[in-house]
């Protein structure tokens, strides 16, 4: 058994997909860390009975908030940390402390369209092939080594394209994370 912690700021659909997928494995989501009071992901965590903590970044230096975050990850025995819509660039100290154990999902075929509003920008540019990338986190914005990608064809409108991309994210992220956790636990469940 290996333990996954998830960092999220918003809706939390990837958080929910990972939590449900892990329930069919021998691994567990040990902790949700969220930086936004009132984020929907906190409601999902309560419903799914996943322990959750709010990390406040307001009115304090970023490295102080990140030290608290790192302590919680260690206290809760997180083997792997999945960023799932966590809307902050992690500081270099935090990245160094957990290097190789921090994973992110991004809704584009990186290195195309890093940063925010990737789907909208790719769609507006007329891309016929969009997609999803799972990668290790480094100090840059969506720049770490790529672990997996999935292509998603452009749909009739932006909303349908976004829906197709999010559905693909949920499958790809669960698959990659379970494989990584299996490697950590050195067994397949
Ligand atoms: C996803 O599109 C993810 O790729 C990006 O942020 C979004 C989070 O969505 N990093 P959700 O909160 O998991 O629904």
Which of 169, 173, 176, when mutated, tests ligand 1's pocket best, judged by the most ligand atoms within 8 Å of its CB?
169
Bridge pairing between strands 129-136 and 146-153 = antiparallel
CA–centroid distance, residue 24 to ligand 1 (Å): 22
Cα of 145 from ligand 1 centre, angstroms: 19
Is residue 66 a part of any domain in this protein? yes
Asked if residue 19 has its Cβ within 6 Å of ligand 1, the reply is: no
Provide the residue range defining the domain that includes 183: 3-104+135-149+169-188
Q: Residue 178 is part of a domain; what is its CATH number? A: 3.40.50.170
- Which residue, among 173, 177, 96, has the nearest Cα to 132 in the 3D structure? 173
The residues facing 134 across adjacent strands are: 105, 148
Convert the pLDDT of each residue in 139-172 to its tens digit: 999 999 999 999 999 999 999 999 999 999 999 9
Ligand 1 contact, 133 CB (< 6 A): no
Say if strands 3-8 and 28-34 run parallel, antiparallel, or are unpaired. parallel
Closest-CA residue, ligand 1 atom 7, reads 85
- What does the alpha-carbon distance between residue 55 and residue 33 come to, in Å, rounded to a whole number? 7
Q: What pLDDT score was predicted for residue 186?
A: 87
Residue 118, in any domain of the structure: no
Tell me: the pLDDT tens digits for 4-35?
A: 999 999 999 999 999 999 999 999 999 999 99
Residues 59-80: tens digit of each pLDDT? 999 999 999 999 999 999 999 9
Total domains in the chain come to 1
Query: Is residue 97 included in any domain, yes or no?
Result: yes
Confidence at residue 189, expressed as pLDDT on a 0 to 100 scale:
67
Kindly report the average pLDDT of the chain as a whole number: 97
Q: What is the mean pLDDT of residues 81-100?
A: 98
Cβ(127) – ligand 1 distance below 6 Å: no
16 touches ligand 1 (CB under 6 Å)? no
Write the DSSP string, 136-161.
E--SSSS-SPEEEEEEEE--SSHHHH
On whether residue 7 sits in a domain, the answer given is: yes
User: Annotated catalytic sites, by residue?
Assistant: 106
């Amino acid at each position: 058994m290996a333990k996954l912690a998830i960092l999220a700021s918003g809706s939390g659909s990837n958080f929910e997909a990972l939590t449900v997928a892990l329930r069919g494995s021998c691994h567990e989501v040990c902790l949700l860390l969220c930086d936004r009071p009132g984020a929907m992901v906190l409601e999902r965590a309560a419903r799914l009975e996943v322990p959750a903590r709010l990390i406040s970044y307001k009115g304090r230096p970023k490295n102080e908030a990140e030290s608290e975050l790192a302590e919680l990850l260690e206290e809760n025995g997180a083997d792997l940390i999945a960023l799932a819509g966590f809307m902050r660039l992690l500081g270099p100290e935090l990245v160094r402390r957990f290097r190789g154990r921090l994973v992110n999902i991004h809704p584009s075929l990186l290195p195309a369209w890093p940063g925010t509003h990737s789907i909208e920008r790719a769609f507006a540019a007329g891309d016929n092939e969009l997609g999803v990338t799972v990668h290790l986190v480094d100090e840059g914005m969506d720049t770490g080594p790529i672990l997996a990608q999935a292509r998603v064809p452009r749909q009739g409108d932006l909303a349908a394209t976004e829906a197709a991309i999010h559905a693909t994210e949920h499958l790809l992220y669960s698959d990659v994370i379970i494989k990584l956790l299996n490697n950590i636990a050195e067994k397949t469940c």
